[in-house]
Amino acid sequence: MPLSTQSQSGNDEYILVASLDNARNLSNILKAISFKDHAIFNVTQNGLKVTIEDSKCLQANAFIQADIFQEFTLKEDVVGFQVNLTVLLDCLTIFGGSTVPGVNTALRMCYNGYGYPLTLFLEEGGVVTVCKINTQEPEELIDFDFCSTNVTNKVILQSDSLKEAFSELDMTSEVLQLTMSPSHPYFRLSTFGNSGNAHYDYPKDSDMMELFQCTKTQTNRYKMSLLKPSTKALALSCKVSVRTDGRGFLSLQYLVRNDDGQICFVEYYCCPDEEVESNE
């Protein structure tokens, strides 16, 4: 809907008002899922959930709880809309993306309901920027039907251990293969690229391994192009949980601490490329 047909309205008419003293507490986490333009916002009394999907095979969600915000007022039970995430990030970082200590951009995010733009008021050093971003009707989200009762294998790792592996991943490999098993190799990432095969092993008694619950040997392959963007979320996080279910669907959950040390979550769901049964 063009901006010209979206009318202005007063403060009391906003159905959503969310304020942050430090806009980075929103922009940093959104950057972790910013691999596509269209982001679907789902707002409830619990807070903000922002979703990006790719090819119906990958879904990334960022959760920012209501108590992260200095002000969070929602006049309806659920509010949903879609915005261009790239545009939103450019607006949130309008005063520059650098982290200068003590200098913060304050944010007030307002939404009036269906058909209205998402309005951002940003302030830094006495300079105010007002952004009105066009919203669209939210697309329907995929339900990966991933529930904890179907989880076959689960590990929780400290992110540092995976960061090196992910940054070195052979991008000439079309897939990233994940093997999880109660026995050796326990947890293995593999790539099959032009220069050869590469394996990253994480034994179950490693210091980096905070939790190891594998019930059955599973090897699954996922498209590299789908999983590579998750590196951004990994870089921000301190811990990651890796789970697969009976179908080989992958769930990655990242624990992210913001500038103020508060906890937010990012999760990625991915469909397997093909299933390979292995008895290694």
What track of x and - describes contact with another protein for positions 100 through 139 (by CB under 8 A)?
A: -----------------x------xxxxxxxxxxx-----
| Residues 165 to 224 in contact with another protein, rule: CB under 8 A | none
Stretch that binds another protein, among 14-22, 82-90, 182-190, 255-263 (CB under 8 A): 82-90
Residue 93 or residue 213: which is nearer to another protein going by CB? 93
Q: Which is nearer to another protein, 90 or 201 (CB)?
A: 90
Site string for another protein, 34-73 (x = CB under 8 A): ----------------------------------------
Nearer to another protein, 86 or 150 (CB): 86
Taking CB under 8 A as the criterion, the residue among 21, 54, 90, 170 binding another protein is 90
Min separation Cβ 251 and another protein, Å: 33
Query: Does 2 engage in binding with another protein (CB under 8 A)?
Result: yes
Q: Nearest CA to 221 among 253, 254, 249?
A: 249
Roughly what angle, to the nearest 10 degrees, separates helices 85-92 and 24-31? 140
48, 74, 91, 264: residue in contact with another protein (rule CB under 8 A) = 91
Q: How far is the CB of 84 from another protein (least distance, A)?
A: 6
For binding to another protein (CB under 8 A), which residues are involved? Answer: 2-3, 84, 86-87, 90-91, 93-96, 117, 124-134
